[in-house]
Amino acid sequence: MDEIIVFQQDGSGEVKISGIRQYSSGLIISKVFDLPAHLPDFIDNPEQYFRGDFTADLVLSFLKHPDLLDHLARLCRKKNIPLIASGKKIEAAITPFTCCSLGRLPGLGQYGAQFGIPEYEVEVRENKICRMEVRRGASCGASWELIPRIVGLSPEMALESIAREAQYLCAADPSNFDPITGKSALHVAGKVHEKALRLALERLK
């Protein structure tokens, strides 16, 4: 059983926590550190906000305050614990643009095997998708929750619909734009799910 610890502010990771608990296997979230949303602009002593005596196989951060995230990254590096901080920019952490754009990276155990860039397996009969199974999905649970909206559609209609359905369910901040590509987290979430379905359909040929 791989052990995960979550750091969040004012419930900022609750959707992901719920998704992991519902859709994972062989994972346990052993501790959630929930810090206040409103904190000083500058924190000179971040160690006062959470203790550093934790152990885990993986740490997930949904912290918004940069000083707290920097402190957490230093602790994880010292403990040799992988830290995932999606949507952030910090050298000492794994920082995919969204949780569902996490690649298959070494050292992430069962979490890395089950969550990240989506992977589907599908079955088509009489030109309709009759079965759709998640092999790897978004930690928010969207990869699983959109399935009832796709099953029963033709492959063509499913490919037209899946990005939109993923975006409806996505927990990412819609204002989170990448200044280089101009793409938002919602756009990325839609695209990775569309690509996952396209690849699953291509494997049937």
Chain-wide mean pLDDT for the chain? 94
71 CB-contact burial (10 Å; exposed 0-12 / middle 13-18 / buried 19+): buried
Q: Is 38 left (phi over 0), alpha (psi -120 to 50) or beta?
A: beta
Eight-class DSSP state of 8:
E
pLDDT of residue 82: 98
Are 131 and 91 part of one and the same domain?
Answer: no
Record the pTM: 0.93
CB-based burial, 5-19: b 16+ in 10 Å, e otherwise: bbbbbeebbebbbeb
pLDDT of residue 172: 76
pLDDT of residue 14: 96
In a domain, 76, yes or no: yes
- Which H/E stretch holds residue 55? none
CATH code of residue 82: 3.40.50.2300
In a domain, 104, yes or no: no
The C-alpha atoms of residue 117 and residue 102 are separated, in whole angstroms, by 5
Other Cβ atoms closer than 10 A to 54: 18
Q: Is the pLDDT of residue 28 over 90?
A: yes
CA count, 13 A, side-chain hemisphere, 46: 16
The C-alpha atoms of residue 4 and residue 159 are separated, in whole angstroms, by 34
CATH code of residue 137: 3.90.1010
Task: Please give the residue range of the domain that contains residue 146.
Answer: 119-202
**Stretch 48-72: mean pLDDT, rounded?**
95
In tens, the pLDDT along 141-178 reads: 999 999 999 999 999 999 999 999 999 998 877 666 66
Are 85 and 8 part of one and the same domain?
Answer: yes
What's the domain count of the chain? 2
Q: Which two tokens stand for residue 100?
A: 């569902």
Cβ-Cβ contacts under 8 Å for 119 (sequence gap 6 or more): 134, 135, 136, 137, 196, 199, 200
In a domain, 100, yes or no: no
In tens, the pLDDT along 88-138 reads: 999 899 999 999 999 999 999 999 999 999 999 999 999 999 999 999 999
